[in-house]
Amino acid sequence: MTALQDEIERRGTRIFELVDKHPEPLFSKAGLYERLMALSMRDERFKGQLFRFVDVLPSLRGSGEIIEHLNDYFSDNGFGSLVNTGVRLARIVPWVSGPILRWNVSGMANQFIAGKNPDDAMATLRKRRAQKIGFTVDLLGEAVVSEEDANGYAVRYMDLLEKLAPETKNWTDPLGKNAELFPVVNLSVKLSALYSQMNPADPADAIAHLAPKLRPLLRRARELGAFINFDMESYAHKNSTLELFKTILTEDEFKDWPHVGIVIQAYLRDSEVDLRDLIEWGRKRGTRFAVRLVKGAYWDYETTKSLQNGWDCPVFSQKSQSDANFETLTRLLLENEPIVTAAFGSHNVRSIAHAQAFADEIGLDRSRFEFQLLYGMAGPIKRALVEMGYRVREYSPIGELLPGMAYLVRRLLENTSNEGFLRAKFAENVSAKELLRDPRELIKLNGANPMKSQTTINTQNQHPQGSTVGTAPDDVYRNSQLVNFVYKDSQDKMRSALREARQRIGEKYPLVIGGEKVWTDELTPSVNPSAPDEIVGYGSEAGIPEAERAVKAAREAFGKWGLTSVEERAQLLERAADILERRRYELSAVEVFEVGKPWNEADADIREAIDFCRFYAEQMRRLGRPKLTQRVPGEESYHHYWPRGVAFVIAPWNFPIAILCGMASAGVVTGNTVIMKPSEQSIVCGAKLMQVFEEAGVPPGVLNFLSGHGSVIGAHLVDHKDVDLIAFTGSREVGLKIWESAGITRPGQRELKRVICEMGGKNAIIVDSDADVGETIGYVIYSAFGYQGQKCSALSRLILLEDNYDQVMERLIPAAASLRVGNPEEPGIMVGPVIDEAAYRRILDYIEVGKSEATLAYQAKDLPPKGYFIPPTIFTGVKPNTRIAREEIFGPVLSVLKVRDLDEALEVANGTDYALTGGFLSRSPDNIERVKAQLQAGNVYINRTCTGAIVGRHPFGGFKMSGGGTKAGGEDYLLNFLVPRVVTENTIRHGFAPEQTPEYRNEFRWPKSH
């Protein structure tokens, strides 16, 4: 054992002795919640329900609602007699139990909140002063949704400073030594409370908006001799926070001010790099600053988020890795004490003892750093540290319960976490020896350094060599990653792709027919909707002769391609996916220019295209093997599929690569040959996709690229006798025409035409009376205004229950007013231009209709001077039978409908011609169940946005007038491109039958070697 480890154990043991001198339960208040927490630690399911109930309770209106929720969350859930009796009792006397429950939950929350307001909190701070414990105060609330809220926080932070400084004027440092390093007034600031449009892709914008709000606060703090700490939040904001800290504190005014600090989260894999960089920055700046070292409060969130998006997980996967890293960073901080003042934010005695022991080892006086602990937690440890002569500061949140709910849930999670120190020590009585072990010893060798998330690893291995028709494909498809624009490297790549795309502006693109590039005299220009005087590119304009040539080429190629093995076809798609992956920034950049997609939307489109290719390849392998229908002796019947023939794919501009690629790749992998026609507004994207397939080695004629006018070549090919299948995504008007026209059998036609038809939507989100208002705003804003409302899944009808109508509207309008509208070449723009002049005019006409049918509640004013920008617009008082409530607008226009209750909400939501997507925001398990059963939509989304379907995860498509009921990205999609066939063989010979008939066999092929 090393001397340092000896010393850590000695100090840790001492802390435990002092802790045990004043035994206290894990929660400073014993009682009901102590018992509830104990139950939560035993039963994860109960914990889930309890935290959800705690989350919703403060926003419930009366005892009746409280008891209903209690019932929904806890009854008949097998949680044991204590809970069941409680629920039964509560039901009997709701008017008594409702307030009691509310009171208990407030009590639970209040133990983590130092006061409702600064006055309230002062009493707590005074008490702590008497115990020689200092404070840093924080305002509850984070991640604001509007600039109005953000400005409110800026004012409140300032008020807090103004209040604390005079009240604590005569307070002296508890250690009376090195006091100049540790001002008494210490304010912790969360940046996400000060700017509502923080976007990880755009740190410069965050800095531009946050710096003017922070300067007055920093200036005043300096005048008052106070300290400001920049708290650290989720990983998405980390780089912006660090950048802002360094930028603003290098300004002349603040360059020589030492009383500022920032948080480093040791659970982050890149935290050591960040800390070294900060120290280096501090040296160059030449003035001391502070770092609060913590492990990090968002572990569950970061892990879930990166698993969902397929991102490398930024946090360590083992608790002991975070602990060990905390110690590495502790040493780094203490060794650099001449430039950085350390604060250790931990309740873990091992982490604390290590800091103490190491400081001693290097001869650093204990008054030159401090320990910080959270209000309402680990009281005995604070006391022990004070007794040992260390400086202790308490992190003291101030505010109301509702805005503080996210904070409360983080604390509850922390206290009950399986991995947490507090639970181990105070709830499970783990031995001191065990608690003081060196975390490096505990790091499991296996997977100790997985820099990549599990998903990444799996994604990379998803096409195992030798995955053939004989082996089963994976059950669960793993999606390609989204680009994470939080990384500077991703931002740089996108910027450079945009520069390169700009250089290619105005290029011309040929048709591709039978593997040949075909140029026509006429060219169709494709315009940049952000700058209509800019032609992004020109597509050769196909006429009837080219369309005929394409059908002929496809027909000829079909003979061979239809007989090509499933494996070969699947591999073609996988090669295309790899090329899309390689060229994803280039293709995203083209989308920004050609269809006005913001960065992340463009990237999501390319990701979807990649997923379509890989997912359909996998699905075709599954479908491609003839399958035994029934096991009967003496006969074998195999069910299998043939391609239909020539497919004509007609795609829209709003997902210009993904949808075109999805339909075309489905056609190709199923053995059909394809003529793909991109939208007139997104020819360049279409042409680029053709290049991808050419590079992937698609044989001549198997995929043909035909740009041109729908009214000319589209109509001609839909009616063509040699076209067997039409896959269409677009407007209802065109879709219905195709559906009708394809029903007519033409002379010489071989097949009944199959039509796959995806049309529009008039999608609704219903907001229940108990929905979380802050989250509601975020989901509604993104669903309605993301990509300017030009997704077929976009929200256009917001249905609010009258109970919380005012609350939602009060925050929705300022949130809409805070949106960044502009040219999406800039990162972080959420609302760009609509696609073209015709759309622009049509949407403006609808806005006029809206003004006559309803009340214009909000319309943005500041718009870029050129380009097809439509201001985000909200109408209220909309009646269900009006045009703006029934017709698809396809732009950033939201209609708000007020209803009495959920019955009426469902009636309104279901009362349109469409059934594409629908959403429900609620915290009532019963209502959620009801909506799941009754909302008429192809894709029903609960407690999230109603846009953003992911291949394989959310097979996408609607019914009624939204489409024929097919599901792109679903496991039955490819069946639409196939004809089923059954081959039956009597295997009895003179009464003798083979014993074993395999469930799957190889494809029927002739000649066998073909």
Residues belonging to the active site: 758, 792
Task: Give the β-pairing of 754-758 and 855-859.
Answer: unpaired
Output the smallest distance, CB 892 to ligand FAD, in A.
35
Asked if 345 touches ligand FAD (CB under 6 A), the answer is: yes
Rg of the chain over CA atoms, in angstroms?
A: 32
3-state secondary structure of 115: strand
CA distance 374 to 387: 18
Q: Looking at this protein, which amino acid is placed at residue 175?
A: L
Output the smallest distance, CB 397 to ligand FAD, in A.
10
For the purposes of burial, counting CB atoms within 10 Å of the CB of 788, is it exposed (0-12), middle (13-18) or buried (19 or more)?
buried
For the purposes of burial, counting CB atoms within 10 Å of the CB of 861, is it exposed (0-12), middle (13-18) or buried (19 or more)?
exposed
* Residue among 57 and 121 whose Cβ is closer to ligand FAD: 121
CA distance 742 to 229: 67
Interacting positions 92-131 with ligand FAD (CB under 6 A):
none
Output the smallest distance, CB 530 to ligand FAD, in A.
38
Output the smallest distance, CB 295 to ligand FAD, in A.
3
Asked if 372 touches ligand FAD (CB under 6 A), the answer is: yes
Size of the site for ligand FAD (CB under 6 A): 33
CA distance 736 to 715: 12
Asked if 19 touches ligand FAD (CB under 6 A), the answer is: no
Q: Which of 46, 195, 235, 299 binds ligand FAD (CB under 6 A)?
A: 299
Asked if 295 touches ligand FAD (CB under 6 A), the answer is: yes
Q: Which of 317, 679, 936, 976 binds ligand FAD (CB under 6 A)?
A: 317
Cβ proximity of 750 and 558 under 8 Å: no
Q: Looking at this protein, which amino acid is placed at residue 640?
A: H
The conformation of residue 368, written as its DSSP 8-state character, comes to G
Asked if 232 touches ligand FAD (CB under 6 A), the answer is: yes
* Residue among 341 and 927 whose Cβ is closer to ligand FAD: 341
The residues facing 349 across adjacent strands are: none
Contact characters 319-338, ligand FAD, x per CB under 6 A: x-xxx---------------
Task: Give the β-pairing of 523-528 and 531-540.
Answer: antiparallel
Q: Which of 142, 147, 202, 231 binds ligand FAD (CB under 6 A)?
A: 231
Q: Please, which contacts does 851-857 make with residues 24 or more away whose CB atoms are closer than 8 Å?
A: 853/878, 853/879, 853/882, 853/883, 853/884, 854/878, 854/879, 854/882, 854/884, 854/895, 857/809, 857/813, 857/896
CA distance 625 to 443: 45
Tell me the CA distances in angstroms from 962 to 3, 343, 757, 896, one per residue in order: 72, 58, 8, 21
* Residue among 316 and 390 whose Cβ is closer to ligand FAD: 316
* Residue among 419 and 837 whose Cβ is closer to ligand FAD: 419
CA distance 877 to 798: 11
Output the smallest distance, CB 838 to ligand FAD, in A.
49
Asked if 368 touches ligand FAD (CB under 6 A), the answer is: no
Output the smallest distance, CB 420 to ligand FAD, in A.
4
* Residue among 414 and 768 whose Cβ is closer to ligand FAD: 414
Asked if 348 touches ligand FAD (CB under 6 A), the answer is: yes
Asked if 227 touches ligand FAD (CB under 6 A), the answer is: no
Asked if 318 touches ligand FAD (CB under 6 A), the answer is: yes
Contact characters 616-645, ligand FAD, x per CB under 6 A: ------------------------------
Output the smallest distance, CB 365 to ligand FAD, in A.
21
Asked if 238 touches ligand FAD (CB under 6 A), the answer is: no
| Number of neighbouring beta carbons within 10 Å of residue 339 | 19
Q: Which of 70, 122, 217, 297 binds ligand FAD (CB under 6 A)?
A: 297
Output the smallest distance, CB 416 to ligand FAD, in A.
11
Q: Quickly tell me which residue has 């350094």 as its tokens.
A: 449
The conformation of residue 191, written as its DSSP 8-state character, comes to G
- Which one, of 617, 712, 495, 558, lies nearest residue 952 by Cα? 617
Q: Which of 245, 267, 538, 779 binds ligand FAD (CB under 6 A)?
A: 267
Sign of torsion over alpha carbons 779, 781, 784, 789: negative
Cβ proximity of 651 and 659 under 8 Å: yes
3-state secondary structure of 864: coil
Contact characters 402-431, ligand FAD, x per CB under 6 A: ------------x----xxx----------
Output the smallest distance, CB 318 to ligand FAD, in A.
5
User: What backbone phi and psi angles, to 5 degrees, belong to 747?
Assistant: -60, 135
Considering only 150-158, 318-326, 785-793, 901-909, which stretch makes contact with ligand FAD by CB under 6 A?
318-326
Asked if 191 touches ligand FAD (CB under 6 A), the answer is: no
CA distance 485 to 274: 18
DSSP 686-724: HHHHHHHHHHHTPPTTTEEE--S-IIIIIHHHHT-TT--
Contact characters 373-402, ligand FAD, x per CB under 6 A: xx--------------------x-------
Binding residues for ligand FAD, rule: CB under 6 A, are 231-232, 263, 265, 267, 292, 294-299, 315-319, 321-323, 345-348, 351, 372-374, 395, 414, 419-421
